[in-house]
Amino acid sequence: MLRVYGCILKKLVLLTVVIFCLSLLIQTGCRGQQGKPKGAPDKEPNILLYINETGEKKNVDMEEYLMGVVAAEMDPNWPENALAAQAILARTFTMENINAGRVRELHDADASTSTEEFQAYDPTRINAGVRNAINKTRGEVVTYDGEYIKAWFSASCGGLTASPKEGLGFTEEPTPYIKSQIEDPGITITTPENKGWISVIPLEHLRKAMQEFTGNDPGKITSVEVVEWGPSGRAQKIRFNSQVVSAPEFRIAVGSEMLRSIFFTETPHIQGDSIIFNGKGFGHGVGMCQWGANKLAQDGKTPEEIINFYFQDIQIQKLWS
């Protein structure tokens, strides 16, 4: 009888373990077992790069190209692990965009040197730190459910990250791998203007920008009000006179350098012939914050740990060696 009970107990324990494992697989979506993205190369690709400044095209090996990207997108003198995290995202961004064929449609090439079309590129800034960062992450990309992620990053998120919808107005597809509303350590070491800035934008410049991106002339701007705020505190919709516009789109139309972010710390107001914006951060605040990556690297975090700080349920895969 004891032997029978013992056998039944073992079966119950085994059944419990199986159920638990199945539950974990369902919750994680089997992400730990995902293969490479469809069409992913197994050796370093050679890409066709369109040089926007001259109109010429040149073939360049992927890792060589990425050195020029990382050197342009991040201060090349920053900690190597921060540069390496940037390298992983830049490689992911490049592969995802090549797959989508965005630059192919524009210039019949794989990538371009335009920040508006692709990402920054400046090989003159390459140093030993950048080379080491590229080499130590060679072939590494970030995937979610077997597909390249949207590898977003910004300079400074002002201490709190944003969702793609909030920071970019992006709703084309789900991005559950993006962590939002996480406190970013970079705010403790970033430059003063990222902790708090004031932007004075002429009303006439705003009027022209709105006319260009909405197709409607708002007329002389006499009032401004933020009518919707996002979960992290960023502006989502702004009303000028009676016209309501998307805050992320408005920032791009006005100029991302002129309006550093939509993370306003005060309500915008008209003063004379200008509108005064007060805010913090620099960029859309989605994905990896570069100043945060800097701080995490200073704290001894690996490139992979830095990536996982900003993204969740992801896999970092090595496509080529």
pLDDT attached to residue 60: 98
Q: Are 307 and 314 in contact (CB under 8 A)?
A: yes
Instruction: Specify if 77 maps to a domain.
Output: yes
Query: 291 with 280, same domain?
Result: no
CA pseudo-torsion sign 24, 28, 30, 33: negative
pTM (predicted TM-score): 0.87
Query: 59 with 113, same domain?
Result: yes
Instruction: Specify if 15 maps to a domain.
Output: no
pLDDT attached to residue 19: 39
pLDDT attached to residue 34: 64
pLDDT attached to residue 101: 93
Q: Phi and psi dihedrals of 209, rounded to 5?
A: -65, -45
Query: 175 with 271, same domain?
Result: yes
For the residues 47-59, what does the mean pLDDT come to?
A: 97
Token pair 């730990």 is at which residue? 32
Question: Rounded distance, CA 79 to CA 127, Å?
Answer: 12
Residue (of 147, 121, 255, 151) closest to 199 by Cα position: 255
Instruction: Specify if 31 maps to a domain.
Output: no
pLDDT attached to residue 7: 47
Query: 93 with 111, same domain?
Result: yes
Is pLDDT of 86 > 60?
yes
Q: Would you state the torsion angle of the CA atoms of residues 174, 320, 108, 64, taken in this order, to the nearest 10 degrees? A: 110
Q: pLDDT tens-digit profile of 105-154?
A: 999 999 999 998 999 999 999 999 999 999 999 999 999 999 999 999 99
Which range of residues forms the domain containing residue 226? 159-284
Query: 50 with 143, same domain?
Result: yes
Query: 274 with 293, same domain?
Result: no
Query: 128 with 141, same domain?
Result: yes
Structure tokens at 224: 């401004």
Query: 148 with 212, same domain?
Result: no
Instruction: Specify if 93 maps to a domain.
Output: yes
Domain count, the chain: 2
pLDDT attached to residue 38: 87
Query: 263 with 293, same domain?
Result: no
Instruction: Specify if 311 maps to a domain.
Output: yes
Instruction: Specify if 264 maps to a domain.
Output: yes
Sheet holding 243-246, edge to edge: 224-229, 235-240, 243-246
Burial of residue 128 (CB within 10 Å: 0-12, 13-18, 19+) is: exposed
Q: Phi and psi dihedrals of 200, rounded to 5?
A: -110, 110
* Stronger pLDDT, 65 or 33, i.e. the higher one: 65
Query: 311 with 197, same domain?
Result: no
Instruction: Specify if 198 maps to a domain.
Output: yes
Instruction: Specify if 2 maps to a domain.
Output: no
244 secondary structure, DSSP code: E
Query: 269 with 195, same domain?
Result: yes
Query: 94 with 145, same domain?
Result: yes
Is pLDDT of 218 > 60?
yes
The overall average pLDDT reported for the chain is: 91
